[in-house]
Amino acid sequence: MVYKTPCHLLPFAFFLLGFVLISSLAQPIPTTFVNVTTYGARPDGSTDSSKAFLAAWHVACTSAQATTIIVPAGRFLVGNLVFQGNKCTSAPISIHIAGTIIAPEDYRVIAKSEQWIWFTGVTDVSIYGGILDAQGTSLWECKTNGHGNCPSGAKTLLFTASNNININGLTSINSQKFHIVLDTCNNVNISGVHVSADANSPNTDGIHVQSSRSVYIGNSSIGTGDDCISIGPGSTSIHINNIRCGPGHGISIGSLGSAEEEQGVEDVTVSNVDFSGTYNGVRIKTWGKNSNSFARNIVFQHINMNRVNNPIIIDQHYCLREPCLKTESGVEISNVRYQDIHGTSNTDVAVILDCSKEKPCTDIEMSNVNLSLVNEPAHAACENANGLANDVVPFTPCLKKDSLMK
C-alpha cells in the first residue's frame, strides 16, 4: 500500500522539505587538508622539496572537495614549480603557508625558466601568509657589475590565464625579477602583502599586472628597486588602495606603445597611497613610437608624497637607453584625474606633463594639488596637454583654470 500525505498536511510537508534543503546548504563545505611534509617536504632549508609540493598540488587539484594545502613552519627549498589547472576539478584550493619557501642559492637554477613559482590555468586558488625568498641578491650583483652573461631572472610568483585568485598576507623578498605577476587573469584580490628588495635591485617590480581585468590591490607595503606597482597593456578595472610605496619607482601605467598593435589600459583608480623617497609618484609612460594603444579613465586621488623625485609625471617619450630618439608617441592619453595630492618633491619640477605632439593628452583634470620643495616653491612643466585645473600648486601652465571644478 502506498501512503499518501493528507491534503491538509501538504503545506507542512513542503515546508519541512524546504527546511531540510536550506539546512543542508547552510552546512560548511567539507575541506580536505594536505600537508606537504606528508609527501616528503623537509623544513630544513637544504632538502629539495619540489616533488613534495607538486604531489600535494596533484591531490588538491583532483579532489572533488575544497582542499587546503598546508606548508608548516620551517624553511622549504624548492626549484621551479609549475602548478597547472587544466586537469583540476572545480573545487577551491587554499594554500596556507606558515613557513618560508626559498629558492636555491645558485640563481641560475630558477633563472633558466624565467619564473620560479607559476600557476597557470587555475581557478579559485587562494594563498595565505608565508614568505617567498627568491635569494636574488647574487643575480643583482651580477647585473650591476656589468657581467654580460647574466640571465634576465625569474619572476617569483606568476599567475597566467587564471580566475578568482586571492593572495592575502604573503611576503615576497629578494626576487630575481618581478615579485608578483598577473598575466591574463580575471577577478584577483591581493591584500596585506609585503614586498621587499634592495633599492638598487634591477627590474624587481613589486606587483605587475597585464592583460587582466577586475584586479584589487590593497593594504600593502612595497619597497623595491623598480615600480612598486606597474600596469601593462590590456588591463582594465584595476583598483589600488592603501599602499605604502618606497623605495622604488612609484606606481606606473605602462610602459605602453612598444608595439604598433597593442591593447590599452582603462578604468584604473589609485587611492590612498603614501610615497616615500621614490623616484616617481604616479606615472604614465609610453614609448615614443607609432602605436594604437591608449590610457584612459584614470584616477589618482588622496595621495601623499614625501621627497619624491617626480611626484606627478606623464612621460610620452619614455626611453631606456641613451641616446634616445625624440620621436612622438601614438598612444592616446585621455580622461586622467589628479585629486587631493599633497607633499614634497625632491626636485624643482614637481609636475611633468610631457605629452605627444602627435596625440596630445586630453581631458586632464587637477584639483586640490599642492606640491613643493621642502620649504620652497616647486615648478611644473607641460607640453601638449589640455584640460582643467583648480586649486593646484604649482600651477600647470597648459591647463585652464576652472573654479567650478569639484
pLDDT score for 23: 40
Does 323 sit behind a cis peptide bond, omega within 30 degrees of 0 on the bond before it?
yes
pLDDT score for 374: 84
- On whether the CB atoms of residues 75 and 45 are closer than 8 A, the answer is yes
Closest-CA residue to 192 (of 125, 254, 251, 126): 126
Active site residues: 249
Does 255 sit behind a cis peptide bond, omega within 30 degrees of 0 on the bond before it?
yes
- On whether the CB atoms of residues 111 and 139 are closer than 8 A, the answer is yes
**Amino acid type, 324:** C
Q: Which residues contact 385 (CB under 8 A, 6 or more apart)?
A: 314, 353, 355, 360, 361, 362, 364, 396, 398, 399
pLDDT score for 28: 54
Q: How do the pLDDT tens digits run along the chain, 406 residues long?
A: 444 444 444 443 433 444 333 344 444 556 899 999 999 999 999 999 999 999 999 999 999 999 999 999 999 999 999 999 999 999 999 999 999 999 999 999 999 899 999 999 999 999 999 999 999 999 999 999 877 789 999 999 999 999 999 999 999 999 999 999 999 999 999 999 999 999 999 999 999 999 999 999 999 999 999 999 999 999 999 999 999 999 999 999 999 999 999 999 999 999 999 999 999 999 999 998 889 999 999 999 999 999 999 999 999 999 877 666 668 999 999 999 999 999 999 999 999 999 999 999 999 999 999 999 988 899 999 999 999 999 999 999 999 987 555 5
Q: Which three cell numbers stand for residue 138?
A: 647574487
Q: Apex CA 182: angle with CA 235 and CA 110, to 5°?
A: 145
Q: Which three cell numbers stand for residue 335?
A: 580622461
